[in-house]
Amino acid sequence: MSLPTPALTRGTFHAALLALLCVSEQAQSEPRLEGRFQGRGEGLLTLRVADVSTEPNRPEYYVTTDTAVPNECTGSVGGLATLINPGTLRLRQKGEGSELTCEVTLRFSPDRSRVTMSAHNCSDYHGMSCDFAGALKRR
């Protein structure tokens, strides 16, 4: 007695293989978010984004940003950022003794070579003369 075996035709096999290759190619060709960026806002801005994901389908990024205006102020904030959509990360930090939550949003260009950074309620991290907002380029 022989058990029935699923019929896999040459056409079905090739279609499945092609679909798998297309998905794999798309995943590999997607520009990555991590890297080092530098640019200008009210002063010099630097940004570091590191992929710290431990599971393939749960992306996690550690973000650190610094700002400096010569002879006025410096500031830094960092932590785990949330992936809002494929091109946007958001870092939220609440300072000790502060009622405000600092929120830094990173919007990456489609090719991931540029980042537009905006920030709200972050003066506890950089003072009144600095800001984490500006345009940065990949270094």
* Total-model pTM: 0.76
Domain boundaries, the chain: 35-138
Q: Does residue 44 have a pLDDT over 80?
A: yes
Average pLDDT, the chain: 82
More confident residue, 101 or 9: 101
pLDDT digits 0-9 by tens, 79-103: 999 999 999 999 999 978 888 999 9
Q: Which of 92, 91, 82 is nearest to 47 (CA)?
A: 91
